[in-house]
Amino acid sequence: GLRGGGLLSHVMVYSVPTYHKLLFLTDGGMVTNPDLTQKVQIINNAVKVTKA
């Protein structure tokens, strides 16, 4: 849930008819100036979404 204590970020999934793969965009403005630790958390969140 949202109360896990981790960094909240978002992942958007694009399906483009002319492209053969899904495209994933992460954190398009939620964390405006992430440090290295936050960047790692954003990537980990995105990986979890891609495996869901």
pLDDT by 10s per residue, the chain, length 52:
566 778 888 899 999 999 999 999 998 888 889 999 999 999 999 999 899 8
Q: Residue 1: what pLDDT?
A: 54
Under a CB-based contact definition with an 8 Å cutoff, are residues 23 and 31 in contact?
Answer: no
User: For residue 6, what pLDDT is reported?
Assistant: 80
The pTM of this model reads 0.75
Distance CA 2, CA 24 (A): 21
Give domain limits for the chain. 11-51
pLDDT on residue 37: 94
Cβ(9)–Cβ(26) below 8 Å: yes
Q: What is the largest CA-CA distance in the chain?
A: 39
